[in-house]
């Protein structure tokens, strides 16, 4: 059990039957003794976001999720197939379970799958992934002095991102999966 005051961002807590991921925490002090904790939380089972206000001494359960590495094998329709390389356990996830992570998933990508009491909670991608640009308009040479000029590029996963003017089709790039943005050319 932890108190609302000790709760940290990115911790998972259990309140009732809900698993909640702490996205943002603000401490508000009112007068001499009253302290409220305003928290933005994501329900990991229902996938909705809520704002809650707690008394600083309100208690809740701190949860540690089971985390396993799985390799993405392939997609068939709206079903995604993963395999644990140590135990060879295979699992199937629906498109709703994978959410927007599908924009950066290619076969053989190793992801972390978090579970609580054998229920899927979260699919975590690596911080950066290497993807191929399949389509992009050519760069304009007269823009070489302005490094901020960007253009749209389509990745091998059919997701479109903004890249600098010098990146061309059929090049590999590194994508930051937290910000969903171009990071650098792959070496």
Domains observed in the chain:
2-63 (2.30.30.30), 66-124 (2.40.50.140), 128-185 (2.40.50.140)
Question: Rounded mean pLDDT of 114-122?
Answer: 81
Whether the pLDDT of residue 145 is over 80: the answer is no
Instruction: Report pLDDT for 69.
Output: 94
What pTM was computed for the model? 0.71
Handedness of CA 91, 95, 97, 99 (dihedral sign): positive
For 24-69, the pLDDT digits (tens) are: 899 988 777 778 999 999 888 777 889 999 988 899 888 888 889 9
Containing 164, the helix (H) or strand (E) segment is strand 160-164
Instruction: Report pLDDT for 75.
Output: 93
Whether the pLDDT of residue 143 is over 60: the answer is no
For 164-179, the pLDDT digits (tens) are: 988 999 999 999 988 8
Handedness of CA 95, 100, 103, 107 (dihedral sign): negative
Whether the pLDDT of residue 141 is over 70: the answer is no
Is the model more confident about 121 or about 1?
Answer: 1
CA distances to 21, 111, 157 from 14, rounded to whole Å, are 9, 24, 35
Residues of the chain with pLDDT > 90, as a percent, come to: 45
Whether the pLDDT of residue 146 is over 60: the answer is no
pLDDT band, very low/low/confident/very high, at 23 (cuts 50, 70, 90): confident
For 41-53, the pLDDT digits (tens) are: 988 877 788 999 9
């Amino acid at each position: 059990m932890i108190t609302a005051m000790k709760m940290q961002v990115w911790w998972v807590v259990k309140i009732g039957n809900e698993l909640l991921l702490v996205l943002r925490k603000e401490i508000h002090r009112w007068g001499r003794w009253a302290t409220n904790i305003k928290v933005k939380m994501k329900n990991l089972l229902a996938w909705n976001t809520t704002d809650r206000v707690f008394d600083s001494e309100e208690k809740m359960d701190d949860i540690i999720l089971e985390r396993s590495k799985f390799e993405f094998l392939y997609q068939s329709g709206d079903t995604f197939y993963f395999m644990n390389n140590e135990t060879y356990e295979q699992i199937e996830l629906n498109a709703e379970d994978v959410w927007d992570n599908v924009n950066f998933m290619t076969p053989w990508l190793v992801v972390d799958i978090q579970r609580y009491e054998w229920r899927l909670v979260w699919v975590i991608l690596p911080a950066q992934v290497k993807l191929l640009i399949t389509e992009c308009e050519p760069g304009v040479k007269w823009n070489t002095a302005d490094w901020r000029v960007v253009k749209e590029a389509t990745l091998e996963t059919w997701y479109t991102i903004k890249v600098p003017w010098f990146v061309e089709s059929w090049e590999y790039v590194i994508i930051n999966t937290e910000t969903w943005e171009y990071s650098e050319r792959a070496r």
